[in-house]
Amino acid sequence: MSQNDWQDLEKKLFLQTIKRAPVTLVRGKGARAWDDQGRKYLDFTAGWATNSLGHCPPVVVKALEKQARTLIHTSSQFYTVPQLELAQLLIQYSCLNRVFFCNSGAEANEGSVKLARRYGKLRLNGAYEVITAYNSFHGRTLAMTAATGQSKFQESYTPLPIGFINVEYNNVEAIKGATSEKTCAVLLEPIQAEGGVNIPDNDYLKKVQSWCREKGILLILDEVQTGAGRTGTLFAYEQYGVEPDIMALAKGIGSGVPIGAFLAKEAASVFSLGEHGSTFGGNPLVCAAAHAALKYQIDHKIPAQAKRVGNYFLTKLGSLKQQFDFITDVRGRGLLIALEFNQEIGDKLLLACLNKGLLVNRLKPNALRFMPPLIITEKEVDEAIGILKEALGEIQNPKH
Ligand SMILES: *Cc1c(COP(=O)(O)O)cnc(C)c1O
């Protein structure tokens, strides 16, 4: 089948929810992926910040193969070893005490909010409201659509579930103003990822944490994208000197397998038996893979590597900014990086990069996002920069 045939099939068979790049990927290894025509790409999307260790990392493949031959699924009606081992690792390397496993980021946030509401019922006179930020992204369930402070995700689904108040990001006064006796929690991303790679002031989260403690409400951090080494530390909260009461994880922790989790401090661990659940959550197959991936990250200090290579990448992008005056901003932490323009050239640039063998993400009409696997090297960054430079040059001087 040709690329056009695949595209026709997709148009016919799928609910049309996403604009796909015109390429059908069939194979991947490390930071490289191949399409059905045999073309090779450098993948700086990493499955949306998910393939932390690149495509088909040997440690994950090995864990999956072994677990697939041993025990694939049981439900959480029974104890299983991979789930317990993954829980141990997450608790040992985070500031939190207990974990619940689910399957996605949206579910991890849903569970976090349910836990906060339960806390509100038990400890805060039935408080149920959760304060979130504009330009946030917390997932696609109906409740997380209400939590996500972007009208483009909300308009089609009103009326939205109640109990979410969206306020300005990076503004602690806005949170204070929205807090009432009905508030049970504040839910924030340490860096807003989908919303634009928006990095808050260094003291923002610290101020929010102080406010939450003063009011006795919970601080929930959505580390679905920033967690698992993406921003240069295992969890982004470590860089801001705060400790969340609840933390949501997904994307990168499984290095490609679908897994989510939320973790809570002991004081916030208020679920009773039967109050939450998931059929697939904590499935032995994905837990074995995630355990192998996370252990590899920790043993090989991958977050520090992401920080080093991320800084190198930022410097290189900074010099591109010097050369192309339509680049207005370069920002990022670790390997979560955005490049912004004063023109809506995101789609054009994405296609130009694709044609030259580099996969990138269009963050906004006027911005690209880079979220390569955390194992990329300076050499691969140089290669990507070379391609980007060519693509930017074509946009600056279009061929007629
Ligand atoms: C991707 C993302 C989600 C949603 O995760 P899904 O696995 O797509 O449900 C939630 N929060 C943040 C910060 C994300 O980046």
Confidence of residue 400 (pLDDT cuts 50, 70, 90): low
Q: What is the pLDDT of residues 299-312, one digit of tens each?
A: 999 999 999 999 99
In the chain, what percentage of residues exceed pLDDT 90?
Answer: 98
> What are 25's strand-pairing partners?
35
Is 280 catalytic? The answer is: no
Q: Which residue in the block uniquely carries the two structure tokens 């799928």?
A: 14
pLDDT average, residue stretch 260-280: 97
Distance of CA 15 to the CA centre of its chain: 24
Give distance in angstroms: CA of 334 to centre of ligand 1. 18
- Please state which of the four CATH numbers 3.40.50.2000, 3.40.50.300, 3.40.50.1240, 3.40.640.10 is assigned to the domain occupying 71-299: 3.40.640.10
pLDDT average, residue stretch 262-287: 97
The angle that helices 284-299 and 302-323 make with each other, rounded to 10 degrees, is 70
Residues 6+ apart with CB under 8 A from 365: 344, 346, 347
CA atoms of 158 and 124, how far apart (whole Å): 28
Tell me the two tokens of residue 77: 């009606």
pLDDT for the residue numbered 3: 87
Q: What is the pLDDT of residues 53-108, one digit of tens each?
A: 999 999 999 999 999 999 999 999 999 999 999 999 999 999 999 999 999 999 99
Confidence of residue 189 (pLDDT cuts 50, 70, 90): very high
Closest ligand 1 atom, CA of 223? 13
Among the listed residues 44, 100, 137, 370, the single catalytic one is 137
pLDDT average, residue stretch 336-340: 98
Residues 6+ apart with CB under 8 A from 353: 359, 360, 387, 388, 391
pLDDT for the residue numbered 11: 95
CA atoms of 227 and 96, how far apart (whole Å): 14
Tell me the two tokens of residue 111: 């569970």
Note the CATH architecture for domain 3-57+302-396.
Alpha-Beta Complex (3.90)
pLDDT for the residue numbered 396: 85
Amino acid identity at 175? I
DSSP 339-390: EEESSS-HHHHHHHHHHTTEE-EEEETTEEEE---TT--HHHHHHHHHHHHH
pLDDT score of 341 more than 80: yes
CA atoms of 366 and 328, how far apart (whole Å): 10
Domains of the chain by residue range: 3-57+302-396, 71-299
Residue with CA at minimum distance from ligand 1 atom 10? 138
Tell me the two tokens of residue 89: 């690792």
Among the listed residues 35, 43, 222, 245, the single catalytic one is 222
Q: Which residue in the block uniquely carries the two structure tokens 């904590």?
A: 282
pLDDT score of 175 more than 70: yes
Q: What does DSSP say about strands 183-188 and 129-133: parallel, antiparallel, or unpaired?
A: parallel
Residues with CB under 6 A from ligand 1: 104-106, 109, 137-139, 189, 193-194, 222, 224-225, 250-251
Closest ligand 1 atom, CA of 107? 9
Is 251 catalytic? The answer is: yes
Q: What is the pLDDT of residues 28-55, one digit of tens each?
A: 999 999 999 999 999 999 999 999 999 9
CA atoms of 117 and 97, how far apart (whole Å): 19
Q: What is the pLDDT of residues 315-325, one digit of tens each?
A: 999 999 999 99
Is 19 catalytic? The answer is: no
Average pLDDT, the chain: 97
pLDDT for the residue numbered 197: 98
pLDDT average, residue stretch 199-203: 98
Confidence of residue 1 (pLDDT cuts 50, 70, 90): confident
> What are 330's strand-pairing partners?
339
Among the listed residues 101, 164, 251, 262, the single catalytic one is 251
CA atoms of 348 and 254, how far apart (whole Å): 32
Closest ligand 1 atom, CA of 48? 1
CA atoms of 43 and 28, how far apart (whole Å): 9
pLDDT score of 149 more than 60: yes
pLDDT for the residue numbered 397: 84
Confidence of residue 114 (pLDDT cuts 50, 70, 90): very high
Model confidence, pTM: 0.98
In the chain, what percentage of residues exceed pLDDT 70?
Answer: 100
Give, for ligand 1, the residue of 52, 132, 225, 247 to mutate: max count of ligand atoms closer than 8 Å to Cβ: 225
Q: Are 167 and 133 in contact (CB under 8 A)?
A: yes
Closest ligand 1 atom, CA of 251? 7
CA atoms of 285 and 83, how far apart (whole Å): 9
DSSP secondary-structure letter at 54? -
CA atoms of 311 and 332, how far apart (whole Å): 9
Residue with CA at minimum distance from ligand 1 atom 6? 105
Give distance in angstroms: CA of 369 to centre of ligand 1. 15
